[in-house]
Amino acid sequence: MRGQLAKGISVSSTKTRATAKAAFMEALEDRQLLATYYVSPYGNDAKSGTSTTAAWKTISRVNKQTLKAGDKVLFQGGKSFSGGLVVNSNEGGNSYTPVTFSTYGSGRATINSGGVDGLKVLNTAGVHVANLVLNGSGMSYNKTSGIYFGLTASGKKLANVYIKNVEVKNYGARGIEFRINGPGGSSISNVKIEDASVHHNLKGGIEAISMKHNVNKNWTVRRVKAYENPGSKYINSEVTGSGIYLADIDGGIIEHCIAYNNGVNGAAPVGIWVAGSNRITIQYNESYNNKTRTSTDGGGIDLDWDTHNSTVQYNYTHGNYGPGILLCPATNSGTYNTVRYNVSENDGRKNGTGGIQLYGNVQYAKIYNNVVFMSNANGSSAFRAHDLGASGYVPKYTEVRNNIFYTTGGAKVVNLTSGVATKGSLKFYGNAYHATSGFKIQWGTSGYSSLTSWRSAKGQEKLNGVSVGYQGDPKLVKAGYGGTVGNTAALKTALTEYKLQSYSPLINRGVPQPGTLSAVKYDFFGGTSIMGGKYDIGVDEVK
């Protein structure tokens, strides 16, 4: 059979396949082989590092190695290592394949970085960090961060960062910090931080900030404990002492986190807050006992300047110096944000703040089915809206529905400054108001001692010409005794103090929620959000 080989394969076909095979072999030869490097205090830097019996000994040796996508550096669990890890711009992984720092054996390894960053990543990403303790030399001696991602290159789009099961402590800057200072929309996207503990870091727990709003896509912060990050009493030029602060994110979630005892020396810190962001959900968190040394903030949860289309839901705030939940666009803007099914207990311990508070240019906000319990402290109020220092900006086009505002000790139920009362456009529908002593609604320069007189004078609590709302005891199980839960997975079962008793007058007394009836599926306790054909007032849907 001329021009053919056996089995009907032509000579030309054979040559083509041979050429393709050769090209394939050459492509394989160009690929980098992935490596796993081991580090042990019993190792030897002169060895290859590629097995536990040939482990390296020091972080210095790790830093000399150029780490590429797929490489892993594993420290011996339960052991300590001195120095700080550095990943330079010619290293790192990519959007799919990271460089990984973790442990082998039992327990977490400790990186005692002394006066330098525990892990510094510069102008690169594709980095995963897991199962490590990063320990600085103390807030008074260390001036750096535990885990630091710095991006200074212009127009650079990076992705893929995962930080899991780490403890970061004793740093003079932040526990975990992203400083994205590259111009031209530089960004780091697809970032996830889970099961981390960040504490005793001077300037804050977790912080991410960029040069342009909304440039960083798809961030998740989940099951983080951020506590005892005090802030600096010597710094007023920047916010210090926050637990978790994310800025310039488009599409993100902060959930099942606990932030407490932060900010005692800080300027304007908050337990959990975002700014310059879009489409953020903050849910199932407990934020409490956060403080401030200044006249502002120190609150539990905050949607700050230029945050839009975001939701705060199913959270528990208590004992904070500042507001439990704050919408704070100030002179910037904040539009189409939602606050629903949250509990605030005895927030506003300082500076006359509110359990739920609006400040400045809030527009088209929806605030519904929350409970605020407020005992008086320095002129605090259950609900407060103000424009002080906001250059004339006031909350507008905002609806407040189906909330319980419960006060004791003379705290005001509702408190609006004159600018908000005269120029704002807040509408209250279907809320319950109760004061155990001295019922007072402050509407600018006017005060009202009953729901009826306020409704008659200002037209509030009237929906389609029908009087709505309720004044009187809401018959909660044990308002004011929520205390500290300390386990966000248990919020739905532990915080029964804010359930309605079976004979509560608030059952089936609520008005429709903003939007459609199916806007929310669940109440605070995980039950169906509407039963019996009407909403209940508060966070609990009974029947």
Q: What is the DSSP string of 182-235?
A: -TTT-EEEEEEEES-EEES-SSEEEEEEESSTT-EEEEEEES-EEE-----TT-
Task: List Cβ neighbours of 14 (8 Å cut-off, separation of 6 or more).
Answer: 5
| Residue 195: per-residue pLDDT | 98
The domains of the chain, with CATH numbers, are 34-202 (2.160.20)
Average pLDDT rounded to a whole number, residues 507-511: 95
Specify the amino acid at residue 469: G
Handedness of CA 507, 432, 259, 194 (dihedral sign): positive
User: Shortest CA distance to 119 belongs to which of 146, 88, 159, 91?
Assistant: 146
| Residue 452: per-residue pLDDT | 97
Residues 364 and 335 sit within 8 Å (Cβ to Cβ): yes
Write out pLDDT tens, residues 25-72: 444 433 456 899 999 999 999 999 999 999 999 999 999 999 999 999
- Would you say residue 80 has pLDDT above 50? yes
Handedness of CA 474, 480, 481, 485 (dihedral sign): positive
| Residue for token pair 């400045």 | 360
Write out pLDDT tens, residues 346-377: 999 999 999 999 999 999 999 999 999 999 98
Write out pLDDT tens, residues 405-457: 999 999 999 999 999 999 999 999 999 999 999 999 999 999 999 999 999 99
CA terminus-to-terminus distance, the chain: 87
Beta-strand (E) ranges in 336-410? 338-340, 343-345, 354-363, 366-368, 371-375, 381-386, 398-401, 404-408
Residues 85 and 119 sit within 8 Å (Cβ to Cβ): yes
Identify any residues that bridge with 534 across adjacent strands, giving them in sequence order. 531
Q: Taking the model in full, what pTM does it have?
A: 0.93
* Cα atoms in the Cβ-side hemisphere of radius 13 Å centred on 21: 6
Q: Rounded to whole angstroms, how far apart are CA atoms 101 and 361?
A: 44
Identify any residues that bridge with 86 across adjacent strands, giving them in sequence order. 120
- Share above pLDDT 70 across residues of the chain, in percent, rounded to a whole number: 93
| Residue 517: per-residue pLDDT | 47
| Residue for token pair 């279907």 | 430
Question: What does the longest C-alpha to C-alpha distance in the chain come to?
Answer: 109
Identify any residues that bridge with 316 across adjacent strands, giving them in sequence order. 286, 343
Write out pLDDT tens, residues 273-320: 999 999 999 999 999 999 999 999 999 999 999 999 999 999 999 999
State the Cα torsion 219-312-308-178 to the nearest 10°: -30
| Residue 516: per-residue pLDDT | 57
